[in-house]
Structure 1
């Protein structure tokens, strides 16, 4: 069987984070054997190298806390274009870099889905909802704004690249959430489905994810998965600058990936917030590569997860 190629795109952006090191993420994923793992499973892995940001222009904003706005806008433009083009060739896998890169992947891939006449869905695996606007961010770290931008929230027009089509908030499912600011809490009322760690503890990850996947399948939708390292518990994934205790366990994370593979719905993937400077001998990078392998079909036994 001929498999769709995986298009590896490095996005060494770190300007959206509060600390240095995420720019080494793409190299760490490559060194951890991502391409080889994909090839072993029968997927051609086409590494297109690292994206370069678009030319920067002077941009200002009244919120004095914001840092590196011009750089993030330049990255967003370049990543959106690269993800859009790669989606015509195969399955884009964007290697971050901090989570600000999702402003680019979400907008570029949403554009592709709109042109194809398909509903676009997002599974956001993260400790944080990243729903701040340029007005509400207090830290000024723009890895906290990609969902707000991609869903067309106010305040980005005239600064960030215009959206070909906003992402419908009701088509977003967030799992693993456990750190939410007050401004983000209000923004979540737009219809985003949120399964925080308490919901996962009480109900289990499988029935929660299954309900969302059934919605995607019923709509014949295109599913993008954005995996932040801090979705995982820092005890198993220390290589991230935004550690939040109480994240997904090793088995919960693998079950998510196995269910995604069973669904055959995933069309694109972000791997973000890996900071090799904070990792322990490549431990986090290797775990993420292992999770990607589960997403792409690696399993011990041929045992699809039952529907709920």
Structure 2
């Protein structure tokens, strides 16, 4: 891990329809993320939040089934530029969300500096929909597909190149709610997925050993995209699209600890914290604790 971390918040809630996730970065900061990382001897620079536009009405392009497309593109272009600048300064970009559509911008910025980027995608969902396959038109369910170069050209073309990542370099962990179009794309592209079935059968240790080996094979960096809804709602209630039967608090910590031991992660984002739906900021506190484990915090 690089010893200099730049934190950037993205108070985005336009990629979905449940208000409140725009307060996620503030909730994570309130849970003392800066202090937690500084206590681990990192130099932490919080550069503030990306400014997010607020449309007067929901901008639905009916023929494309993409909600608030223009605003989502604009915000992700800003984020991509900011993340690229952080990487250019040889610092670790840590992005705080915000809904998961922000991964489009994060990956666009990181991929400018990595030709063969590995991606670990912790999520209850695949985020592999397009306007054609999405039941909702919410772009937060399309961010991984967009990063693979699949989707509307306004989204895939952010930063002027596509795709940002390759399917053979991606591992999805914790999936348990996949739409029919996502299942087809996973099979078509050969994307490696560890559903909760595999985690239950193999155990998190084996899953992470295999995932780490997969995303390290021939890559020149690894991005972690962690949606808090990967975790069971009992441990992380403050998310917009909770799905029962997720990874436990300890299983997710183990995953982060193993990533820290492997030393492969070069950028990360933690998304979908919604304090309006939370209980006493518990989900943001969980997110910060997981960041601690990712950056090398140990019990002894």
- 1:263-274 to 2 correspondence within 5 Å? 263-274=262-273
Question: Helix, strand or coil for the counterpart of 2:232?
Answer: coil
TM-score in terms of structure 2 length: 0.93
Q: Which moved more, 1:204-213 or 1:249-258?
A: 204-213
Partners of 1:158 and 1:113 in 2: how far apart? 22
TM-score in terms of structure 1 length: 0.90
Report deviation, 1:60.
7.2
In 2, are the aligned partners of 1:54 and 1:78 still within 8 Å (CA)?
no
Aligned residue-pair number: 294
In 2, are the aligned partners of 1:53 and 1:77 still within 8 Å (CA)?
no
> Compared with structure 1, are the counterparts of its residues 64 and 120 closer, same or farther at alpha carbon in structure 2 (3 Å cutoff)?
closer
In 1, are the aligned partners of 2:229 and 2:236 still within 8 Å (CA)?
yes
> Compared with structure 1, are the counterparts of its residues 226 and 3 closer, same or farther at alpha carbon in structure 2 (3 Å cutoff)?
closer
Task: Give per-residue Cα distances to partners, 1:130-150, cap 9 Å, x unaligned.
Answer: 001122222111101111111
Residue of structure 2 equivalent to 1:138? 135
Question: Helix, strand or coil for the counterpart of 1:122?
Answer: strand
Residue of structure 2 equivalent to 1:106? 107
Residue of structure 1 equivalent to 2:80? 80
Residue of structure 2 equivalent to 1:149? 146
Partners of 2:63 and 2:219 in 1: how far apart? 41
- 1:119-268 to 2 correspondence within 5 Å? 119-153=116-150, 155-158=151-154, 161-162=157-158, 163-166=160-163, 167-189=165-187, 190-219=189-218, 221-268=220-267
Report deviation, 1:159.
5.7
Partners of 2:197 and 2:29 in 1: how far apart? 34
Question: Helix, strand or coil for the counterpart of 1:113?
Answer: coil
Task: Give 5+ residue unaligned stretches, structure 2.
Answer: none
Report deviation, 1:65.
4.2
> Compared with structure 1, are the counterparts of its residues 67 and 259 closer, same or farther at alpha carbon in structure 2 (3 Å cutoff)?
same
Report deviation, 1:68.
1.0
Q: Which moved more, 1:159-168 or 1:253-262?
A: 159-168
> Compared with structure 1, are the counterparts of its residues 148 and 134 closer, same or farther at alpha carbon in structure 2 (3 Å cutoff)?
same
Task: Give per-residue Cα distances to partners, 1:178-228, cap 9 Å, x unaligned.
Answer: 000001110112121100000000001111221221234442530100010
